[in-house]
Structure 1
């Protein structure tokens, strides 16, 4: 047997040892190899232990892709359709996962590791693997290729603001503004499309908060890992098979209010919980942050109105609450495989009383920053001093 190969009988033995005694995979592999009479060198034994751990507790043949430092997403569209994103856009890799049945079996096993059911009666699932990787999987016939698997890597650490500037994610001139927004406790919405870097920027901003501040984060699935000593992470829970025991985002926001937070952070506004966040920010909870899917700062009001409507809020109430609660929108884009902060907008109401977000500055990720001088000066008057030319 080679270092990376897995004998089914040996794998079953290792699985039984882990289940019966709670042994670590590495120890279980060593014991199983010893008892089987196989002779392996230390390098081969370590490689076998890694392969076994990936098979039993990780993403199997995809695990080594998830462990690459720059990889953010691994996508499977059937046996020969494996793609990954290293931050420069999707790229296909020459890898085969066997047959459609093998892909389906992998999806089912990953869901089980994440504590979820995936079968013909429940053909789609969202789950979290033990290492924090976020899983979404869909089975045939919804996905004709046997299964479609999406894996989103949980970053082990947050990028600093300086690192984002160095990587070209935002102009150096804006770094001072972002620091001022956090220091002066602005309520901030980070908007953008899928994969545009919203969570990355949000974590960097939270890392700037004072060490004496208590941050409570509310997420559907834990992704925020700010570099901060006092973070309490809350995550939703799905209802059980009887439909009981579910905890949604709105409920967690209400719980967060009772936890003596200095900052409440909503990982993503996606439904009726936007009402709870706006109410919290209007009752003395400054310095809050949230992310929102949107195409530009100008369409953020429409997105907020649509989400708040799910909570029964009329348009006039949304405008009044949002204008009083929110200060700034930071909008991210992803173009040419590059994620960057593209627009900074100021939240307010127009002469008709409708909610608006006025762009104060914008950037195409390459050239010079462009400004709307009156709005930029207004922003500087509220959160300066910094470079407000």
Structure 2
């Protein structure tokens, strides 16, 4: 029966894996594809040329790569892989979650893979440390959770950093935004406006930020602050600082706030916090208020309108009251770019301007995307004015008020 042959094949593969693992780990050198291939050949199995090659690739993935998940990671469209159980593997290729046909033989195999990946990142995954986040060579960010914290068994979440960086034109061609929005994004960078890119997890914030940073003038020095290095802008002068977890005794930790303070001593032309999610927002706002224009980062928010409240909440973690945050934000940030994941892929849903009102700080829409096209919001005149300012590096930038006539008006008084 086909099912019997598949079960038998898995048992044979498991036995071969153990044989090869013992063989290569007994050696003094590193585990390489060639040493794995030699061990497969030395096992005495009559697999044939194609079978031996397939076995070597599979076993090398088990020992060095992502195991059964390696084939998913090799698809350049995959950005995230999730393991909810041996028979529940999901992936994201930019259009939401898809169930994969990949599966594990047992919960033990999932836990073993999780433990090996975490160990490769210099940390441990066990009952004393059941929730761990690590970054691995190859651009993988791995988060693992063990039972009983997870009621379903071992959970794995893998974010894949792709080395390829898209141009704005490529993102436009892929449907992320219209030509008018591309022009505005270029102007935001050219005029050194400070900005935040908001959106939910997996909405494309990091992809858009990397692309926009690549538009910075070649003479500028970019200092990137990240919890896990994911930004890789195409630019000649980039410095990245990455936070560090404490050791087993809790010492040696460096958080994002510490790194922002260090970065200010490195003469950044643009200071970027890859993801604002804690007290480091205080240091970032301070930097943007003391001459470090043109910087910013990303922030998790369901809508652009939620960004002011998110900033107040993060400021509270740093001991700032709401009024202090409002005053800091008013002079620090110019633009909020909100991205969303839709059924048609990731989209720049709106571009807004932070505005003070009698009821507090709000984000007023300047441009908004909908399936019917891009419309102009109440804040467009203000944004167009900011984008038309001349700077020494970009004195020849054409005024963007010319765009106003090409963008339909949103309904009177409507805001994003």
Structure-2-length-normalised TM-score? 0.87
Name structure 1 gaps, 5 residues minimum.
none
Partner of 2:224: 217
Verify the 8 A CA contact 2:246 2:253 in the aligned structure 1.
yes
Per-residue CA deviation, residues 206-256 of structure 1 (Å, 9 max, x unaligned), is: 111122221111111111111222211111110011010000000011111
The Cα shift of 1:37 comes to: 6.4
Candidates 16, 22, 30, aligned match of 1:12: 22
The Cα shift of 1:38 comes to: 6.8
The Cα shift of 1:9 comes to: 2.2
Verify the 8 A CA contact 1:239 1:246 in the aligned structure 2.
yes
Equivalent position SS for 2:379? helix
Partner of 2:153: 146
Verify the 8 A CA contact 1:25 1:52 in the aligned structure 2.
no
Candidates 366, 374, 390, aligned match of 1:369: 374
Partner of 2:404: 388
RMSD of aligned C-alpha atoms? 2.0
The 5-angstrom pairing of residues 14-33 of structure 1 reads 14-17=24-27, 20-21=28-29, 23=30, 25-33=32-40
Partner of 1:271: 278
Q: How many residues align?
A: 381
Verify the 8 A CA contact 2:210 2:232 in the aligned structure 1.
yes
Within 1, Cα distance between the matches of 2:108 and 2:42? 33
Within 2, Cα distance between the matches of 1:100 and 1:367? 47
The Cα shift of 1:52 comes to: 3.3
The 5-angstrom pairing of residues 98-177 of structure 1 reads 98-177=105-184
Bigger mean CA deviation after superposition, 35-44 or 24-33:
35-44
Verify the 8 A CA contact 1:89 1:337 in the aligned structure 2.
no
Name structure 2 gaps, 5 residues minimum.
1-8, 389-398, 406-416
Equivalent position SS for 1:157? coil
Within 2, Cα distance between the matches of 1:45 and 1:234? 43
Bigger mean CA deviation after superposition, 50-59 or 278-287:
50-59
Per-residue CA deviation, residues 163-221 of structure 1 (Å, 9 max, x unaligned), is: 11111111111111100110111101000011111001101101111222211111111
Matched, 1:293 2:303: no
Verify the 8 A CA contact 1:262 1:285 in the aligned structure 2.
yes
Matched, 1:355 2:361: yes
Verify the 8 A CA contact 2:37 2:53 in the aligned structure 1.
no
Within 1, Cα distance between the matches of 2:354 and 2:88? 43
Bigger mean CA deviation after superposition, 205-214 or 271-280:
205-214
Partner of 1:234: 241
Within 1, Cα distance between the matches of 2:49 and 2:332? 60
Within 1, Cα distance between the matches of 2:51 and 2:163? 28
Within 2, Cα distance between the matches of 1:302 and 1:41? 63
Q: Stretches of 4+ moved more than 6 A in 1?
A: 37-42
The structure-2 alpha-carbon separation of the partners of 1:321 and 1:157, relative to structure 1 and needing over 3 Å to count, comes to: same
The Cα shift of 1:71 comes to: 0.7
Within 1, Cα distance between the matches of 2:170 and 2:20? 45
The Cα shift of 1:24 comes to: 5.6
Verify the 8 A CA contact 2:17 2:59 in the aligned structure 1.
no
Verify the 8 A CA contact 2:68 2:103 in the aligned structure 1.
no
Verify the 8 A CA contact 2:135 2:142 in the aligned structure 1.
yes
Per-residue CA deviation, residues 316-347 of structure 1 (Å, 9 max, x unaligned), is: 11111111010000001112252100011112
Verify the 8 A CA contact 2:90 2:100 in the aligned structure 1.
yes
Equivalent position SS for 1:8? helix
The Cα shift of 1:261 comes to: 1.2
Per-residue CA deviation, residues 289-310 of structure 1 (Å, 9 max, x unaligned), is: 2100112221211100000011
